[in-house]
């Protein structure tokens, strides 16, 4: 009986300690690891949120860039970090889902290594075509691509990222044969699209918009499940007839898997409150990003769905980082 009573007391103590743990956090500085260089969209979101988290939760929130190998170096570092609420990962679709499939063994499986905290933002992708094609709408583009299989190319910011795999998925769903041309970033890809060196690209909408409005390229559609709040007059690819096509270029926050759930819940609630602030939404919109929070379980389920979507696409397209 004594053993059982001690066990019961220990369990009761743990239950009582859990809310106290969450309320004390963060007692030590918190590092938000961005697995990309400073200045990119993932980094910008992290640096926008950091001072607001400090103001709301107290303590210190520091952004640290750990770059390399398609984001896998920083991602793997956080997976190995102490699960004590001091280190979190500001992650994206490319490094969290796509690169682990493209380069198996490059990092621990994110589905097992991380616990979702909250979605942070979406950057809409836009199907953008060169003026020389003369395609005024998606129907015209598809007719051209089917009439001239293998003749046309699509640009991306690099192998295995959202822009590349959006093009591969588009080719599969639309039944067209187009050749991938990777660049070192969206800027160089857009430059060659303007020059007519490539036929089309799925570019970040904020990157493509100035050229689209200037008439040097034509934006035909956005790649998401719904129209972008940044430019609601642009239809989705699915609306225009290509079924089962939706690509999100997202940013989200993750914790090492064993991080106490009470800390994860408190952090998630704070982020959702901040992301719901009209001023924050407006600032992110100015940067071409749509604010979007989520509950931890919702984010974990979304990541599993992303793997389900992209694993067969990457294998069928034979995409590899090797």
Residue 295 belongs to domain with CATH number: 3.40.190.150
Question: Shortest CA distance to 248 belongs to which of 318, 189, 303, 295?
Answer: 303
Residue 156 and residue 289 share a domain: no
Residue 35 and residue 117 share a domain: yes
Of 172, 206, 222, the last residue of a domain is 222
Residue 256 and residue 118 share a domain: yes
Residue 100 and residue 146 share a domain: no
Can you give the CATH number for the domain in which 211 is found? 3.40.190.10
Average pLDDT over residues 36-42: 87
Looking at the structure of the chain, the number of domains it has is: 2
Percent pLDDT > 90 in the chain is: 80
Phi-psi region of 62 (alpha: psi -120 to 50; beta: other; left: phi over 0): beta
User: pLDDT of 138-151, one tens digit each?
Assistant: 999 999 999 999 99
Residue 81 located in a structural domain: yes
DSSP code for 235: P
Residues spanned by the domain of 70: 25-123+248-317
pLDDT of residue 197: 97
Is the CB of residue 125 less than 8 Å from the CB of residue 202?
yes
Residue 86 and residue 153 share a domain: no
Residue 275 located in a structural domain: yes
Number of H helices, E strands in the chain: 13, 11
Residue 278 and residue 129 share a domain: no
Residue 240 located in a structural domain: no
**At residue 208, does pLDDT exceed 80?**
yes
pLDDT of residue 19: 63
Average pLDDT over residues 91-118: 94
Residue 306 and residue 173 share a domain: no
Residue 215 and residue 154 share a domain: yes
pLDDT of residue 177: 97
Residue 174 located in a structural domain: yes
Residue 116 and residue 41 share a domain: yes
Residue 170 located in a structural domain: yes
User: pLDDT of 281-313, one tens digit each?
Assistant: 999 998 888 999 999 999 999 999 999 999 999
Question: Shortest CA distance to 150 belongs to which of 171, 131, 134, 165?
Answer: 171
Residue 111 and residue 256 share a domain: yes
Residue 132 and residue 201 share a domain: yes
**At residue 7, does pLDDT exceed 60?**
no
Residue 256 located in a structural domain: yes
**Residue 185: which pLDDT band, with cuts at 50, 70 and 90?**
confident
Order of all β-strands in the sheet with 30-34: 61-65, 30-34, 87-92, 249-256, 114-123, 290-291
- Looking at per-residue pLDDT, the higher value among 38 and 214 belongs to 214
User: pLDDT of 42-71, one tens digit each?
Assistant: 999 999 999 999 999 998 999 999 998 888
Angle at 209 between CA 204 and CA 211, to 5 degrees: 115
What 3-state DSSP class applies to 88? strand
How far apart are the C-alpha atoms of 211 and 64, rounded to whole Å? 33
Residue 9 located in a structural domain: no
Residue 108 and residue 153 share a domain: no
Residue 304 located in a structural domain: yes
Alpha helices, DSSP H only, in the chain? 2-24, 41-57, 72-80, 93, 99-102, 110-113, 138-147, 162-174, 186-195, 205-214, 261-275, 278-286, 296-317
**Residue 83: which pLDDT band, with cuts at 50, 70 and 90?**
very high
pLDDT of residue 322: 61
């Amino acid at each position: 009986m004594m053993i059982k009573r001690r066990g019961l007391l220990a369990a009761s103590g743990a239950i009582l300690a859990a809310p106290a743990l969450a309320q004390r956090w963060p007692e030590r500085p918190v590092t938000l690891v961005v697995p990309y260089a400073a200045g990119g969209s993932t980094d910008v979101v992290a640096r926008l949120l950091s001072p607001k988290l400090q103001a709301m939760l107290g303590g210190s929130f520091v952004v640290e860039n750990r770059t390399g190998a398609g984001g896998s170096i920083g991602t793997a570092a956080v997976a190995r970090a102490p699960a004590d609420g001091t280190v979190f990962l500001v992650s994206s679709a490319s490094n969290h889902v796509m690169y682990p499939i493209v380069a198996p063994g490059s990092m621990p499986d994110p589905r097992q290594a991380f616990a979702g905290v909250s979605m942070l933002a979406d950057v809409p992708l836009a199907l953008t075509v060169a003026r020389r094609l003369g395609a005024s709408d998606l129907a015209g583009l598809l007719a051209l691509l089917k009439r001239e299989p293998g003749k046309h190319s699509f640009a991306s910011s690099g192998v295995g990222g959202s822009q590349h795999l959006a093009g591969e998925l588009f080719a599969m769903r639309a039944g067209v044969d187009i050749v991938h041309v990777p660049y070192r970033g969206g800027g160089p890809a857009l430059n060659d699209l303007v020059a007519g060196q490539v036929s089309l690209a799925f570019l970040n909408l904020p990157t493509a918009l100035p050229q689209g409005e200037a008439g040097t390229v034509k934006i035909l559609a956005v790649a998401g499940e719904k129209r972008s709040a940044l430019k609601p007059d642009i239809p989705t690819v699915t609306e225009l007839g290509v079924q089962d096509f939706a690509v999100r270029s997202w940013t989200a926050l993750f914790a090492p898997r064993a991080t106490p759930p009470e800390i994860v819940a408190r952090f998630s609630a704070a982020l959702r409150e901040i992301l719901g602030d009209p001023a924050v939404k407006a600032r992110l919109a100015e940067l071409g990003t749509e604010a979007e929070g989520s509950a931890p379980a919702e984010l974990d389920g979304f990541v599993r769905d992303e793997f389900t979507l992209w694993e067969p696409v990457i294998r069928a397209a034979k995409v590899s980082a090797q």
